A and B are shown apart, each in its own frame.
Chain A
């Protein structure tokens, strides 16, 4: 819909620009230039994901239910573009940059499967929940609260889950060299893209211009994140840290916990979240989505009301989403996007397991998400 340039509309947009400038400046003043740059990167993610409607959960559903492969192909493109830059950067600057490397394990694979199912129930993954909450989706706000709690609970048990059995950390670079790993990763992505094209209906195999732009911008921002933070784009760690902060604030001592007692995490717990990379990009991501929603002349309609027990399902699914993401060493961002684009084999295992779980989640939706009396089927 075409924007109507009324004085209040113009002043709202001016206010949004001021809001963006103010939070970046405040972060710079409080926590320094790297924090401000990471917040700006997060803002970029939020503006792109919400503004260009680039997501992860919807395309995974669409390829299954509608045989529409365009969104998923755009994801694969974004991952491939990121890998093209990230692999050489990690090879040349291994002392300064870290990829999203984690081991494949029994609990990791099961947790990724569960995450895939839960993300279809709350209609949002790691980044999607943040974006949707920032743009005013009530389901996602509820899921975000659960996600924060679940991510924290996951940290409490993560070492135990990991002890159930896992392989060493395998990377494509370690197995095949930097160039060989990159080529094989790109071939792997191309192979998945071929499967998607085979599954998709004619006319639903080529992303439109909006998705091409989104894929390019997401890849650019992911590379910037790697260069600025020294690590790949992630979401879940920050949310677990927020949960730990709140828990600590109500008087619970976490120093004896295996995870939060470890020096690296204990340090994070003592420091402000404005010094934590994933927290900063999470904050920026939500703010960016908020800005896009308020920038539009029409914010769009709220989700349809659900039956009371379905709201409870959403909250519980949010907790499961956070818990499983923590046990799976990341969500669609930290494990799938960043894992694959930086060469971690666990990213591929996560993708296969979460996609299988996503199919289950799609089938569970009609049974668990029941419209309130008098409401139609929820979109």
Chain B
């Protein structure tokens, strides 16, 4: 029987569209990014304490 589901490329493009939607919502909901406050390119050796959030965060 022929598989009636959309092809892999179609679904992959839908996934990218979902990401684009999330980025659009994020853009509308977030403060503008200030590039002058961007962290050092690499945390190691920056002398800055880590501030990012992780899955282990409570």
Q: How far is the CA of A277 from the CA of B6 in the complex (A)?
A: 32
A230:B52 contact, CB within 8 angstroms: yes
- If over half of A's interface residues share one DSSP class (helix, strand or loop), that class is named, otherwise mixed; here it is helix
A33 to chain B, nearest CB (A): 4
A275 closest partner in B (C-beta): B33
Chain A positions near chain B (C-beta within 8 angstroms): 30-35, 37, 89, 93, 95-98, 100-102, 133-138, 141, 144-145, 158-159, 162, 226-232, 234-237, 241-242, 245-246, 248-249, 264-265, 268, 270-278, 283, 286-287, 290, 293-294, 299-305, 325-326, 329-331, 333-335, 339, 344, 346, 374-375
Cβ contacts under 8 Å, B29 to chain A:
245, 248-249
A271:B31 contact, CB within 8 angstroms: yes
Contact digits for B24-40, partner A, Cβ 8 Å, 1 yes 0 no: 01111111010100111
- If over half of B's interface residues share one DSSP class (helix, strand or loop), that class is named, otherwise mixed; here it is loop
A278:B53 contact, CB within 8 angstroms: yes
Q: How many residues of B contact A (CB 8 A)?
A: 48
Cβ contacts under 8 Å, A145 to chain B:
18
Cβ contacts under 8 Å, A89 to chain B:
44
B57:A137 contact, CB within 8 angstroms: no
B55:A331 contact, CB within 8 angstroms: yes
Q: How far is the CA of A246 from the CA of B29 in the complex (A)?
A: 9
A227:B3 contact, CB within 8 angstroms: no
B26:A334 contact, CB within 8 angstroms: no
Given the contacts A162-B58, A265-B53, A305-B5, A32 and B15 also touching, CB distance less than 8 Å: no
Cβ contacts under 8 Å, A234 to chain B:
54-56
